[in-house]
A and B are shown apart, each in its own frame.
Chain A
Amino acid sequence: MADLTSNFLGIKSPNPFWLASAPPTDKEYNVRRAFEAGWGGVVWKTLGAEGPPVVNVNGPRYGAIHGADRRLLGLNNIELITDRPLEVNLEEMTRVKKDYPDHALIASVMVPCEEDEWKRIIPRIAETGCDGFELNFGCPHGMAERGMGSAVGQVPEYIEMVTRWCKEATDLPVIVKLTPNITNILMPAQAAKDGGADAVSLINTINSITSVDLDAMSPEPMIDGKGTHGGYCGPAVKPIALNMVAEIARNPGTHGLPISGIGGVTTWRDAAEFMALGAGNVQVCTAAMTYGFKVVQEMISGLSQWMDEKGYTSVDEIVGRAVPNVTDWQYLNLNHVTKARIDQDACIQCGRCYAACEDTSHQAISMSDDRVFDVKDDECVACNLCVNVCPVEGCITMETIAPGAMDERTGKVVEKEYANWTTHPNNPTATAAE
């Protein structure tokens, strides 16, 4: 059976599934139960400065997007960092780490952007025996209004500065948690690296309003008739997170910087995808909040089965395996020609492919009087929309046209050689192929 043990920045855990800094990791009671349920590590709910803790709203903190069967697809929250005294958290962290030496325990931290504040709290938290720190530069609501969280994460210079302070204050690994509420993830990632970060973790939540109460005319979640933007997370944000992880992993400036992948991880497959795109481990929150701690059992069994099937013996063998295949559009092979193929035995004759293609694409599907749908090769540009809208998995597939055969749409013979936009005759800045 595959070995799922994880070594991220020298921090060992029984598996690569950590609970993200969030309500599930707010206290000793939860964290002990999480470890017993099988989680490999936790990032403790973000600690703030000493003194009176933050307060939370006393109305709803969460809003959600559901599928038709109430499947929770996206969750939004306006909860702040821990609202329990620092001392209580530190005592609990110390006890938990002592009892679970083989599990990862990371301290998430967020204090005002002053050197003293950071340098005072980091050594103090280190006394708990925690395995490392995660700097919360991501939280997009509440704390950001006070100059913390994503207010720091949106200014690369601040990221670099605070990261450097923290690195000066401890020998433990420092992970910088990035906000996706920026235009280019490479800049904050680069800043973290420049400040000496051992790793980045991403994504934190996305600014969002999940819905509007059309009677009260207020955003949800609604507090006494008003709402505010919250942080969006859950399965819906995974594609955004995957792209940001991949960008950091493939960009020459940040390539090799360890990544803890976060954003909608719900199943073993989600985790494997993050890891293939360069994440050394994953952090999970919404799946645990939706299904309970036990959900990790499926992640463990699924990842293990898949690794066995593929012959991978350790999780490190997966990490970054798909990164070389993430490229720019301009390098995609323009001589790779495919056509849609409809399996008539599998087709249930709903006509969705026809509607999509006829109304919104390239008019490349024909429909007979007796509802038989066929692809017109001389019109099909291989856009894949019919595949995506077809309700029957595997009914419509893309067939690669072999080199030497005719592409009936262009009237040209498909060429064997790879050729991309950079050398295409229509490209005014094309360089001649050597």
Chain B
Amino acid sequence: MPQTNRENGISPARLAPADVQANFSDLHPAYDEHEARVAADRCYFCHDAPCMTACPTSIDIPLFIRQIATGTSEAAAKTILDQNILGGMCARVCPTETLCEEVCVREIAEGKPVEIGRLQRHATDTLMAQGKHPFTRAASTGKTVAVVGAGPAGLACAHRLAMLGHDVVVFEARAKGGGLNEFGIAAYKSTNDFAQKELDWLLGIGGIDIRYDQPLGKSVTLDGLQSDFDAVFLGMGLTAVNALRLDGEDKENVTDAVDFIAELRQASDLSKLPVGRRVVVIGGGMTAIDAGVQAKLLGAEDVTIVYRRGQEAMAASKFEQDLAQQKGVTLICNATPVGIEGNGSLTGVTFAYTETQNGKLVTLDETFTLPADQLFKAIGQALGDIPDTLKIESGKITVDAAQKTNVAGVWAGGDCASGGDDLTVTAVAEGRDAAMDIHATLTGAS
């Protein structure tokens, strides 16, 4: 793909618009009907299936695949959505290679799993294309629940509560819903504005009122919500980011990867989005990969992801690491940043090599400098300001198995709560389970 713009610094239109468009097309394109049948045919309908156990939302995977195989993708979608109302997005963004597909018996036997994620997308896309919402609300309970955050946890919680007959008000800090589905996932995983479409479709259940620009601690407070509602669910995610704590971190082109990803998702024309010529990303998780790959796809000439530990310790899956390398991103492991270079604007980042000695990461004396005109930090996110009454452990709101916090009448789930991986599918499971416990509490069914 010809480079059209080799200017140093941050610059838009490094590639022709058509090339950018092609770069950001669907990572896992939809199956056609025949492909779906052939893929579904490979499923063995395992007993007590490992894939189902591996799914944080416990979707009955063998059943939904069999329903696709017998020409009833709508029934398949219902099987998925019964457990995971954001099954459409999870089909696109789940790291299936470390969840259901990793334990597929055909992965173990042949190194070629049933493509569960794509089949799930086929089913949910089929149903959603019909424009009908497949669930109905139970009779009104007269109870009201406040949900903080319109991300995966909050939406899953709100939908389940609405379905059970409660009235839900969602307080969202941003001007748009969807949470990380809308702001935090690589664009090639959620094309054609899918996050907003799925949100609109989800709201088709009725009984959910989303109020935007309502961050917790500013326009709304936990005390206020507790007095105005019968229950409160907190699903605001991680709103702060970790810092490198290096001099020069305040330079103009040193930014948080999450902001770059969000900006990219909200851009109306990606070919006009500026990116550096030589980009360095620091981190080893999905955020680092998403930022690095997308910088490359926008036309950055060199992109290097630098991670302080060994490659095997990266939080990003092997599939994601391979994807980055396929797209031309360089991975450097066992190096930690020690200096941000540049007199004025950023010119490079200096790293020291590291080594694990007796289980401890040790920084060595030898260093190297990567030239860079843009640096993205992807070294983790953290809770933002949280009401003092909530108990925190390891940087997350403490919850029990039913997602209850230490404050009576307050539940929490998703990335802001303890337990589980920081994944969309885990957030959905936690939001759903919290809703079931809230329902049991409010109706005295427990």
Contact = CB atoms under 8 A, between A and B. Distances in A.
Interface residues of A, number: 18
Contact of A298 (B41, B47, B66, B74): B66
A305 B41 contact: no
A298 B34 contact: no
Interface string B68-98: 0111101100110000000000000000000
Interface string A260-296: 0000000111000000000000000000000110110
A305 B45 contact: no
B63 interface: yes
Given A295-B66, A392-B34, A393-B34, A301 B45 contact: no
Given A305-B74, A305-B75, A298 B67 contact: yes
Contacts of B63: 294, 297-298
A301 B72 contact: yes
A269 B71 contact: yes
Interface string A297-310: 11001101110000
Contacts of B45: 291-292, 294-295
A69 interface: yes
Secondary structure class of chain A's binding surface, majority of residues: helix
Given A301-B72, A301-B75, A305-B74, A292 B66 contact: no
A392 B34 CA distance: 8
Nearest to B63: A297
A115 B62 CA distance: 49
Nearest to B70: A267
B174 interface: no
A302 B47 contact: no
Interface residues of B, number: 17
Contacts of B47: 292, 294
Contacts of B41: 69, 71
A73 to B, nearest CB: 13
Interface string A406-434: 00000000000000000000000000000
B42 interface: yes
B58 to A, nearest CB: 15
A301 B70 CA distance: 11
Interface string A115-144: 000000000000000000000000000000
A304 B74 CA distance: 11
B70 A302 contact: yes
A55 B69 CA distance: 40
Contacts of B69: 267
A305 B78 CA distance: 11
A71 B42 CA distance: 9
A393 to B, nearest CB: 6
A268 B74 CA distance: 14
Contacts of B74: 305
B61 to A, nearest CB: 12
Contact of B72 (A71, A305, A392, A393): A305
Interface in B26-79: 34, 41-42, 45, 47, 62-63, 66-67, 69-72, 74-75, 78-79
Given A268-B72, A298-B75, A302-B72, 16 more contacts: A69-B41, A71-B41, A267-B69, A269-B70, A291-B45, A292-B47, A294-B47, A295-B45, A298-B63, A298-B70, A301-B72, A301-B78, A301-B79, A302-B67, A302-B71, A302-B75
16 contacts: A69-B41, A267-B70, A268-B70, A269-B71, A291-B45, A294-B62, A294-B63, A295-B45, A298-B67, A301-B67, A301-B75, A301-B78, A302-B67, A302-B72, A305-B72, A305-B75
> What 9 pairs across the A-B complex have the smallest Cβ distances?
A301-B75, A267-B70, A302-B72, A298-B66, A305-B75, A291-B45, A305-B72, A302-B70, A292-B47
